[in-house]
Amino acid sequence: MLADRPTCVLLTIHLDGRETPAALAKVRRDSAGGPRGSSRPRLRKEAATAEELTLLEWAGLEAIQNACGDAQGLGVTRPLLLMREDAALVMSFVDARTLRSVVLDLSRLHPGRGRLDEAVAGCALAGRWLNTFQQSDFRGPGGSDRPVRQGTRDEVVDGLGAYGDYLGSPAWGRLASRGRGLVAAVLPRELPLAVGHGDFAPRNMLLRAGRLTVIDPLPRWQVPVYDDLCRFLVGIRLIGEQVHTHGLAFGSDTLDALEEAAVAAYLGPDADRAPLRAYQLLILMDKWTAMLDNPRHDPLGRLSRRSAALADHRVRREAERLLDLADTDR
């Protein structure tokens, strides 16, 4: 067994007594999902059954194989067997480190372990992967009939207001107000859409020898084209080690280099970045409220919430950075 998680079990499949697995099986479990009684605003609310999530992942794996299978520097996890009634699937195994672990090795808490050029190259591949995937002809179940999330400028404005109200402080209220003004100025009324990966995060990217493989797709929605990239960027900026050390783990030069690599690979060097930053602010506030609303009630969960709350000023500075960048780009 590779992992036993609340939502699924991962099993490695070995052939002919070989140590390296030949394939990976994932068996999903039903979970309560949904808001769990919390008042926190959410961009994604609907729960799904284990069977539905398995079908979505299978469709995503097929779409990735079709889009990225022949692209240089991009790898694929091949879907091998679908067992719908058991909410299980089998896929090829990729022997590689996650991009998240490559980035964590750059932390000041792990001196000398990481290579910035490797992490930068991985982030650039993440941007190129997303561009390649979004330009493909996605034909999974539902295709372009998938429900739309945050498809209009007004929804983004409303979301920023809801998060500002939930966070409660005058400082966050001012940031949300400034963000709403930015959104009104730089985003179109109807946002350009694409089928989203569903969990486009460094932990779901495998990097080895200059080749990036993106795993765990859940293409449930059509989302603004900026959504997946913004979730990736916020995942880098709010990586747990950075939040809980109040910014001591990574210097701004390191994080800026990683972010620039992904953005430049996705948008190109001369594109207008203000719309991306406006939407990134929404994702930042969504991610931050989720960290503050950690549902665990054991001592570790309480400690995590307390530690995150003490880092609030750092996250506000990140929000200010995004707004300042957008103002510079306009």
Cα angle value 303/229/33 (rounded, 5°)? 50
Element (H, E) at 285: helix 274-292
Q: Determine the residue type at 273.
A: R
Token code pair at residue 14: 């070995």
Considering the domain boundaries, does residue 204 fall inside one? yes
Residue among 130, 106, 172, 159 at smallest CA distance from 266: 130
Does residue 217 belong to any structural domain of this protein? Answer: yes
238 assigned to some structural domain:
yes
Give the lowest-confidence range in 15-19, 63-67, 164-168: 15-19
CA 275 to chain centre: 18
- Whether residue 265 lies inside any domain: the answer is yes
**Is 207 a domain residue?**
yes
The mean pLDDT of the chain is 92
pLDDT digits (tens, 9 = 90+) for 180-208: 999 999 999 999 999 999 999 999 999 99
Q: According to the model, what pLDDT value does residue 140 have?
A: 57
Q: How many helices (H) and strands (E) does the chain have?
A: 11, 11
Query: Is pLDDT of 49 > 60?
Result: yes
CA distance 26 to 288: 29
Q: List Cβ neighbours of 165 (8 Å cut-off, separation of 6 or more).
A: 173, 176
The pLDDT assigned to 3 comes to: 77
Locate 330 and state its tokens. Answer: 């306009």
Model pTM greater than 0.75? yes
- Domain assignment present for residue 127? The answer is yes
Higher-pLDDT residue of 166, 297: 166
Tell me whether residue 158 is exposed, middle or buried, using C-beta atoms within 10 angstroms of its C-beta: 0 to 12, 13 to 18, 19 or more: middle
Q: What local confidence, expressed as pLDDT, does residue 35 receive?
A: 46
Least confident of 44-53, 208-217, 251-260: 44-53
Could you give the number of structural domains in the chain? Answer: 1
Between 274-292 and 312-329, two packed helices, what is the crossing angle to 10 degrees? Answer: 170
Please determine, for residue 105, whether its predicted confidence score (pLDDT) is greater than 60: yes
Say if strands 74-75 and 79-83 run parallel, antiparallel, or are unpaired: unpaired
The region of weakest confidence among 14-28, 131-145, 193-207, 303-317 is 131-145
| Residue 221, pLDDT score | 93
What pLDDT is recorded for position 28? 95
From CA 307, how far away is CA 302, in angstroms rounded?
9
Closest Cα to residue 192, out of 159, 165, 227?
Answer: 227
Report if residue 110 sits inside a domain: yes
Q: According to the model, what pLDDT value does residue 36 have?
A: 52
Q: Which domain holds residue 255?
A: 95-329
Going by C-alpha positions, the residue among 183, 207, 162, 214 that lies closest to residue 39 is 162
Instruction: Examine residue 164 and state whether it is found in any structural domain, yes or no.
Output: yes
**Which pLDDT value is given to residue 88?**
97
- Strand pairing report for 205-208 and 97-98: antiparallel
pLDDT of residue 167: 95
Residues 20-39 pLDDT 10s: 899 999 999 987 544 455 78
CATH number at residue 157: 3.90.1200.10
pLDDT class for 143, splitting at 50, 70, 90? Answer: low
